[in-house]
Amino acid sequence: MPSTDTQGPGARATRPAPGRSQARDGPREGQPGHKVPSVGAISSIGDAARRSGVSARMVRHYEGLGLLAPVARTASGYRQYTEADIHTLQFIKRARDLGFAMDEIAELVDLWHNHRRASANVKRIAQGHLDQLAERIAAMQAMQRTLENLVNCCRGDARPDCPILEDLAGKVTSRQTHSAPRQAR
pLDDT at 68 over 60: yes
Q: What is the pLDDT of residue 49?
A: 96
> 137 pLDDT band (50/70/90 cuts)?
very high
> 20 pLDDT band (50/70/90 cuts)?
very low
pLDDT at 18 over 60: no
Q: What is the pLDDT of residue 179?
A: 45
**Cβ within 8 Å of residue 15, ≥6 positions away:** 2, 3
The answer to whether the pTM exceeds 0.75 is no
φ, ψ at 81 (rounded to 5°): -105, 135
Average pLDDT of the segment spanning 26-31: 49
Domains by residue range for the chain, with CATH: 23-98 (1.10.1660.10)
Model pLDDT for residues 77-121, shown as the tens digit of each residue: 999 999 999 999 999 999 999 999 999 999 999 999 999 999 999
For residues 149 and 38, the model is more confident at 149
- List, as own/partner pairs, every contact residues 53-61 make where C-beta atoms lie below 8 angstroms and the sequence separation is at least 24, other chains included: 53/90, 53/93, 54/89, 54/92, 54/93, 59/89
pLDDT at 26 over 60: no
For residues 64 and 3, the model is more confident at 64
Average pLDDT of the segment spanning 163-181: 69
Q: What is the pLDDT of residue 156?
A: 87
Distance from chain centroid for Cα 131: 20
Average pLDDT of the segment spanning 33-44: 60
Q: What is the pLDDT of residue 130?
A: 98
For residues 170 and 22, the model is more confident at 170
pLDDT at 11 over 80: no
> 173 pLDDT band (50/70/90 cuts)?
low
The residues with which 4 forms a beta bridge, in sequence order, are: 13
Coil, strand or helix at 112: helix
